[in-house]
Amino acid sequence: MIRRITRLAPCLALAGCAGVQSALDPASDQASSVFGIWSLMLWICGVMYALVLAFLAAAIWKARHRLSGPPIAEGQKSPADRPLTRVLTGWVGLTVVGLLVLTFGSFLVDRQLALADQKNAQTIKITANQWWWKVEYDDPVPGRRFVTANELHLPVDRPARIELEAGDVIHSFWVPNLGGKQDLIPGRTNRLLVTPRRVGLFRGQCAEFCGLQHAWMALDVTVEPQTAFAAWAEAQRRAPAPPSTPEALRGRDVFIGAACNSCHQVTGQPAQGQTGPDLTHMASRPSLAAGARPYSRQALDEWLRDPQALKPGNHMPLVATRADERAALVAYLDTLK
C-alpha cells in the first residue's frame, strides 16, 4: 500500500533532486519505507493545509462588504452560530481521522523497520570521535576482521547491522539515502539496520552537534556488488605494499620519527596508534579528513602544511614543519593504497 503511494509520490519535482546525500532519493529498504510515509504525510497534510487556506480566503472574501454595524457580543446569537459550530465539529472529526491514518501509517512503517530481515547480515561497528568515524568490519574469524576510517563499503542486497558507539561526545550517524539517523552516545551501544538496494556512491554526515568541526565529519559510503565488496574487503585485510622509492622510504621515517604513529595505525608498520584514524589504506579512500576534501596528493600536502587551516580546531597537530619532510611524508602516505 505504502509502496504504491510512493510511486504516486506528489513530490516528483523534489525527487528530481537526486543526490548523494538526499532523503528524497532512497537507495535502501529503510529509506524507501520512510519515503513512503513522507509521501503519505505530504498528501494528507497538503489537503488539510489547502482546506484551511480556502476557508480563510473565503472568510476574507465574504467580509469585503460588511464593515459597519454594532459588534456581536456574547448572548446576541448570530444566525450562523449553529451551522458554524456544526462545521467546527466536523472539522475536528476530520482532523482526528487524518491523524489516525498518519499515526497508523507511521506505526506500520516503524514496525516494518523494526522487524526487517537480519539473516546473513554483515556486522559493522562504527565508533564516532571528534571529528571522524572509525569503522570496524566484524568477522567470525578474528584474523579476517579489519578496520578503516571515514569510509563505509556495503554489499548491495545484503543487510548490514551497524553497531554505533561514541568515543567522546554524542554524534549521530546519518546516510540519508540509506535511511534514518541514529545517535552514537558514550556509554551506550545503538544499532541500525540498513539493507542497500542500489549500487552507488553516497555521503553521510554527523547529524548531532558535536563541537567545532561538526560540519566536516562526513563519511563516504560505497554500495557495490557482492563480488566487488569481497575484493575490497580482501584488499583491506592486506597490509599495503612497503614503500619502494627513496622519497617514500624517507617519508616513512618521517612518519615514525615525527610521532605520527603515536596516534595513527598502519598495518605492517610500527604504527599502532589508536586515537586517530587508521591510515592503512588512506590513499585509496575517496576523501581526506572526514570528507573535508577529495583525496589527492595536492590536497594531502595542503592538509599537512596546516591541519588547522582546513579544519580549525581538529585534534591533528602540525608535524612536518619542513617542506622537504612534508614532501617525503606525502610521497609515503600516497603509497598506502
Partner 1 sequence: MTAGQDLEPLEDEALRERLERVWAHPTGWRGVLTAVDHKVIARRYIATAFVFFFLAGVLALLMRAQLARPESHLIGPDRYNQLFSMHGTTMMFLFAVPVMEAIAVYLVPLMCGARNICFPRLNAYGYWVYLFGGIMIWIAFAMNVGPETGWFSYVPLAGPEFSPGKRTDFWAQMVTFTEVAALAVAVQLVAQILKQRAPGMTLSRMPLFLWSMLVTAFMVIFAMPAVMVATTFLITDRLVGTQFYNPAEGGDPLLWQHLFWFFGHPEVYIIFIPALGMVSQIVAAFSRRTILAYPAMVLALLANGFLAFGLWVHHMFATGLPRLGDSFYTSASMMIAIPSGLQIFAWIATIWDGKPRFKTPLLFVIGFIVIFVLGGLTGVMLASVPLDLQVHDTYFVVAHFHYVLIGGAVFPLFGAIYYWFPKITGRLLDERAGVWNFWTFFVGFNVAFFPMHILGLLGMPRRVYTYKAGLGWEVWNLISSLGAVLIAVSMLIFIINVLVSLRRGKVAGDNPWEASSLEWATSSPPPIYNFLRIPVVTGREPLWEGDKLPVMSGLGETERESLCVSIVEAEPDIRQKSAPPTVWPLLAAIATTVLFIGSIFHEWAVVWGAIPVAITLCGWFWPGRPTRKALKERSA
315 binds partner 1 (CB under 8 A): no
> How far apart are the two ends of the chain, measured CA to CA in Å?
47
**Residues of span 172-211 touching partner 1 by CB under 8 A:** 172, 174, 176, 179-183, 185-188, 190-191, 203, 205-211
Residue of 4, 7, 8, 74 interacting with partner 1 (CB under 8 A) = 74
Q: Look at the alpha carbons of 47, 49, 55, 58 in this order and tell me if their dihedral is positive or negative.
A: negative
Closest CA to 109 of 31, 172, 198: 31
Closest contact distance (angstroms) between CB of 273 and partner 1 is 21
Q: Is position 52 an interface residue for partner 1 (rule: CB under 8 A)? A: yes
User: What is residue 208's three-state secondary structure?
Assistant: coil
- Provide, rounded to whole angstroms, the least separation between the CB of residue 227 and partner 1: 29
CA 52 to chain centre: 36
Q: How far is the CB of 264 from partner 1 (least distance, A)?
A: 22
Q: Any contact of residue 150 with partner 1 (CB under 8 A)?
A: no
Closest CA to 128 of 156, 152, 145: 152
Task: Quote the least distance from Cβ 49 to partner 1, whole Å.
Answer: 6
Q: Hey, which residues does 190 pair with through a beta bridge?
A: 164
One of 49, 97, 257, 272 touching partner 1 (CB under 8 A): 49
User: Mask 265-304, x = binds partner 1 (CB under 8 A)?
Assistant: --------------------------x-------------
Query: Binding of partner 1 at residue 133 (CB under 8 A)?
Result: no
Q: Cβ(271)–Cβ(254) under 8 Å? A: no
Taking each helix axis from N to C end, the angle separating 29-62 and 81-114, rounded to the nearest 10 degrees, works out to 170
Rounded to whole angstroms, the Cα distance separating 188 from 75 reads 61
Give the one residue of 7, 66, 119, 322 binding partner 1; rule: CB under 8 A: 66
Q: Would you say 261 or 314 has its CB closer to partner 1?
A: 314
Under the criterion CB under 8 A, does residue 97 sit at the interface with partner 1? no
* Residue number with CB closer to partner 1 (38 or 229): 38
- Helix H or strand E segment including 107: helix 81-114
Among the listed ranges 87-95, 116-124, 259-267, 325-333, the one in contact with partner 1 (CB under 8 A) is 87-95
The total number of residues shown for the chain amounts to 337
* Total number of residues that touch partner 1 (CB under 8 A): 91
Decide: is 306 part of the binding site for partner 1 (CB under 8 A).
Answer: no
Restricting to residues 108-127, name those near partner 1 by CB under 8 A: 109-110, 113-114
Rounded to 5 degrees, φ, ψ at 154 are -130, 135
Residue of the chain from 1, 4, 12, 68 that contacts partner 1 (CB under 8 A): 68
Q: Quick one: cell of 288?
A: 581526506
Q: How far is the CB of 20 from partner 1 (least distance, A)?
A: 7
Report the b/e string of 265-285 with b at 16+ CB within 10 A. Answer: bbbebebebeebbbbbbbbeb
DSSP annotation of 115 = T
Q: Considering the rule CB under 8 A, would residue 62 count as an interface residue with partner 1? A: yes
In whole angstroms, what is the distance from residue 37 CA to residue 23 CA? 12
Q: Which amino acid is at 258?
A: A
Q: Which residues pair with 147 in a beta bridge?
A: 136
Cell numbers describing residue 33: 519505507
Of the residues 45, 201, 239, 241, which one makes contact with partner 1 according to CB under 8 A: 45
Choice between 251 and 291, CB closer to partner 1:
291
Q: How far is the CB of 159 from partner 1 (least distance, A)?
A: 17
Q: Establish if 53 lies at the interface with partner 1 (CB under 8 A).
A: yes
Q: Is 71 in the site for partner 1 (CB under 8 A)?
A: yes
Provide the minimum distance between the beta carbon of 175 and partner 1 in the complex, in angstroms, as a whole number: 9
| Set of cell numbers at residue 311 | 579544519
